[in-house]
Amino acid sequence: MNGKINTLLFDLDGTLIDTNELIISSFLHTLEIYYPGKYQREDVIPFMGPTLMETFGGIDVNKAEEMVAKYRAFNIANHDNIVTIFEGVYDTIKTLKENGYKIGIVTTKLSDVVNMGLRLTKLDEFFDVIVALDHVKNAKPDPEPVLMALEQLGSSPEEAIMVGDNSHDILAGKNAGTKTAGVAWTLKGRDFLASLQPDYLLDNMSDLLTILEVEVK
């Protein structure tokens, strides 16, 4: 292993699995019920990253829980038809696991939907720990979920990289004291992630293997 890094923490949506179209469709479906014709695709892209309660609460605090329920019902019903895995992810995660790295997921999704995505993309066998929204009091960018994952893995922040596609991921890693890596395939755009000054920018998940100097067998 290269240097002291022995732990990789990954966001899920938009980082490992391509849920972008599912998330956008779920937002548009939900908002069309309450605000017909008001929201377009480009309007909901900024909603990706925060928790659903934060997003819908910012639109209408009184109807937030109701909107979250409608979002989740649509999201789960359409999940397996829309979600795919990003190029290079499966082989990279498999290689990291085979080389003895500790790997975990830190996400703002609820654990039941996390498990759906991992099973669908056959990533479910690899992760040592999953910290989901229902496991923490404070979601990313608060350091709590990152620190919880590290504690469960027996790792320190100095030994870890937090990998994600959004500001919440990079800031959570920085707040917890890990190194950070942004993925250039983020829907927010490479320049947006670069502006957050992560330690690394990945054009393909396999770039991690180069950074860590892992020999691919």
Catalytic residues: 11
Please count the other Cβ atoms lying within 10 Å of the Cβ belonging to residue 41: 11
Long-range CB pairs of 188-195, under 8 A, 24+ apart, other chains included:
188/45, 188/48, 192/167, 193/165
169: phi then psi, degrees, rounded to nearest 5 = -70, -50
**Per this entry, what is the length of the chain?**
217
CB atoms within 10 A of CB 88: 17
End-to-end CA distance of the chain: 14
Radius of gyration of the chain (CA): 17
